[in-house]
Amino acid sequence: MCAVSFGYYPYMTAHVIAVAVDCEDAETLAMFWREALGAPPPRRWRDADGLTYVQLDSQPVLVFQPVPERKAVKNRLHLDIAPASGSQADEVERLVGLGAKILDSADRHPWVVLADPEGNEFCVLSPR
């Protein structure tokens, strides 16, 4: 049990509608993830300040939002993905071909840690 009580409201719940990804180049990063996930063409929309977001209607929905600063530290949240077909090694090779970089492929773990073209870490696991 949590030491801090946030209250209990059985009639109120929430659900995740998207994972937002801060990035310098929303178009380029969305195209990498579109190819990686086999997502349909992206949608674009603007906020009240005129900033353009690029959205992939994948599972989960990914929204790429431009920010002025570069990624500086390790992600506090990351995606775990697995190939729909083929092996983990084949998927890692395919993603590297799309622009990902291998960060850690230690044999003691069942995952390979990669970084997308802007340095966001994600893991590739074996097929499910």
Report the CATH number that the domain containing residue 99 is assigned in CATH: 3.10.180.10
Nearest to 103 by CA among 75, 122, 83: 122
Residues 64-111 have pLDDT tens digits of 999 999 999 999 999 999 999 999 999 999 999 999 999 999 899 999
| Range in 6-10, 39-43, 68-72, 76-80 with the lowest mean pLDDT | 6-10
Task: Say how many domains are in the chain.
Answer: 2
Residue 86 and residue 64 share a domain: no
* Overall pTM > 0.75: yes
Confidence (pLDDT) at 28: 97
Range of the domain at 39: 15-68
